[in-house]
């Protein structure tokens, strides 16, 4: 390709520029022809991935524990509400990406300076590495149901993540991961195989029943854990960076919102289905004692949903860990590339994106290695991850709220007064609940006072 003449003489488009331009050309051509559904099909991706990625191994295990311990009742509408909150928060990242064409880490660095830029990066990198460990725990646990050795399950998970990153093409990466992510919906047929009382399920969805009985500290800790896990730092960084990498503009904000809403609906449906399926164990007083993974719940459910249903449950648990591992590792790569002003795109080749791909590779390999350490305190690691993630959400959410109100960079896409009331309330609520969850996890005796 010849160099560009005129004011940009001497500038030569990179592979990243060319690939993104091709993707945008398809969107513009479809928009000119008024093929609105095709435009939407081209633009969806980051929102679906971030929401289904949040339905990770620990989250699905939490839903399974919820259903097995307390049944449906309070928790089904509660889960739906948490994804409504997640949509409100994640929608702000869509507007930021469309208005600035910059990732979340870069925007924080540019607007708030080096201290907050590097603080946010350190917050993300540490939290992501710990969270990646829990994803490989989920992969190992789910695969154990099929008799797969831990080393083989974790090694295969690493290879799948690295294979996705090796595509060197954003659209190919996105569509491949989305295909795997949709396996999160396998929890739905498992719920159907459980033959629940659908009238009772519908009543639970349409009414808000009181908190279930039982030890107060156990019930409240589970509620706090679910709220605290509604939005995690990696989600903010991933969706904004992926949206910018995809090339969405101000004209695409509506499609970005639909993408995020669709992801929230799918993730909520999978979460509710997991609770419904596992509620069988509550109804039959058959909850596995001290269940720590997908294999335990799949085995416990097998007498009620059959071998096929149990296998689907375990397979969905493996998928939950895999998709989260891919998206979380990618969010780390995006953030480090943005702060270091180096290549930060899935359209880069290995030479131009050396730091980007190395970041994802190292984080995945280190996390997998920790899981394979003999007698590693995996349960303690999972609890620690939840505490760290929820305690560090406050600064991440506050910075997001400040950015989306900065009219100098966002312009007309800034929050309206009503959006500030809604999103501000959500930010404060999640931050407070996250802090409370962290405190009561460290000091559980406080709930008995």
**Distance of alpha carbon 120 from alpha carbon 402, whole angstroms:** 14
Q: How far apart are CA 143 and CA 134, in angstroms?
A: 14
Residue 216's pLDDT is what? Answer: 60
What is the Cα–Cα distance from 79 to 39, expressed in whole angstroms? 31
Cα Rg, the chain, nearest whole Å: 22
Backbone angles phi, psi at 325, to 5 degrees: -60, -40
Distance CA 411, CA 389 (A): 31
Contact present, 206 and 366 (Cβ < 8 Å): no
Helix or strand run (H / E) with residue 355: helix 354-371
pLDDT in the model for residue 1: 46
Task: Output the pLDDT for position 46.
Answer: 94
Residue with tokens 């493996």: 318
Q: What is the dihedral sign for C-alpha 422, 406, 261, 28?
A: positive
Asked whether the CA dihedral 112, 117, 123, 124 is positive or negative, the reply is positive
Alpha-helical regions (H) of 101-252: 104-112, 114-144, 150-165, 170-181, 187-193, 198-206, 216-228, 233-246
- 3-class SS shares of the chain: helix, strand, coil, % to 5: 80, 0, 20
Which of 106, 129, 128 has its CA nearest to residue 118? 106
Q: Please say whether the beta carbons of 200 and 72 come within 8 A.
A: yes
Within 207-353, residue ranges assigned H as helices are: 216-228, 233-246, 253-283, 294-339
**Close Cβ partners of 310 (under 8 Å, ≥ 6 residues apart):** 145, 298, 299, 301, 302
Q: pTM of the predicted model, to two decimals? A: 0.89
As a whole number of angstroms, the distance between CA 211 and CA 220 comes to 9
CATH topology of domain 46-448: Amino acid/polyamine transporter I (1.20.1740)
pLDDT (tens digit, 0 to 9) for every residue of the chain, 449 residues total? 445 555 555 556 677 767 777 878 888 888 888 888 998 999 999 999 999 998 888 888 888 888 888 888 888 888 898 899 899 999 999 999 999 999 999 999 999 999 988 988 988 898 898 889 889 988 988 898 899 998 999 999 999 999 998 888 889 999 999 999 999 999 999 999 988 888 888 888 888 777 766 556 667 667 766 676 667 888 999 999 999 999 889 999 999 999 999 999 999 999 999 999 998 888 887 666 555 566 788 888 899 899 999 999 999 999 999 999 999 999 999 999 999 988 888 888 888 889 999 999 999 999 999 888 887 776 666 656 666 666 677 778 888 999 999 999 998 999 999 989 988 888 788 777 766 766 766 666 665 55
Spatial distance between the Cα atoms of 324 and 132, rounded to a whole number of angstroms: 8
Residue keyed to tokens 């394979």 = 372
How far from 188 is each of 3, 182, 185, 415, CA to CA, in Å? 53, 11, 6, 36
């Amino acid at each position: 390709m010849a160099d560009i003449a005129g004011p940009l003489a001497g500038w030569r488009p990179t592979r990243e520029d060319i690939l993104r331009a091709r993707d945008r050309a398809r969107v513009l051509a479809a928009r000119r022809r008024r093929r609105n559904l095709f435009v939407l099909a081209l633009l969806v991706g980051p929102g679906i991935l971030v929401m289904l990625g949040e339905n990770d191994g620990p989250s699905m295990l939490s839903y399974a524990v919820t259903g097995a311990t307390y049944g449906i009742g309070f928790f089904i509408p509660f889960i739906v509400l948490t994804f409504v909150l997640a949509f409100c928060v994640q929608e702000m990242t869509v507007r930021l990406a469309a208005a600035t064409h910059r990732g979340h880490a870069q925007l924080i660095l540019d607007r708030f300076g080096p201290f907050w830029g590097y603080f946010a990066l350190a917050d993300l990198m540490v939290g992501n590495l710990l969270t990646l460990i829990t994803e490989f725990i989920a992969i190992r646990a789910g695969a154990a149901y099929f008799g797969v050795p831990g080393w083989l399950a974790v090694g295969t998970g690493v290879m799948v993540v690295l294979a996705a990153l090796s595509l060197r093409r954003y659209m190919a990466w996105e569509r491949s991961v989305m295909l795997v992510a949709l396996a999160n919906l396998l929890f739905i047929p498992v719920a159907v195989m459980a033959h629940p009382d659908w009238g009772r399920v519908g009543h639970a969805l349409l009414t808000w029943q009181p908190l279930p009985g039982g030890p107060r500290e156990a019930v409240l800790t589970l509620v706090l854990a679910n709220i605290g896990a509604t939005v995690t730092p990696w989600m903010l960084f991933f969706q904004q960076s992926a949206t910018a990498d995809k090339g969405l503009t101000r004209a695409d904000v509506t499609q970005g919102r639909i993408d995020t809403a669709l992801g929230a609906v799918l993730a909520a449906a999978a979460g509710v289905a997991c609770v419904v399926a596992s509620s069988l164990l509550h109804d039959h007083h058959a909850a596995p004692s001290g269940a720590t993974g997908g294999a335990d719940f799949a085995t416990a459910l097998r007498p009620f949903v059959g071998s096929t249903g149990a296998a689907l449950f375990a397979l969905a648990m493996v998928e939950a860990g895999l998709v989260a591992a891919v998206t979380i590792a990618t969010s780390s790569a995006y953030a480090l590339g943005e702060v270091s002003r180096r290549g930060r795109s899935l359209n880069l080749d290995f030479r131009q994106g050396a730091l980007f791909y190395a970041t994802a590779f190292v984080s995945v390999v280190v996390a997998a290695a920790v899981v394979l350490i003999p007698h590693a305190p995996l349960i303690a690691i999972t609890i620690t991850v939840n505490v760290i993630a929820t305690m560090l959400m406050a600064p991440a959410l506050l910075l997001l709220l400040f950015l989306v109100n900065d009219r100098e960079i966002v312009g007309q896409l800034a929050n309206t007064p009503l959006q500030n009331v809604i999103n501000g309330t959500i930010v404060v609520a999640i931050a407070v609940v996250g802090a409370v969850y962290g405190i009561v996890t460290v000091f559980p005796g406080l709930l008995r006072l």
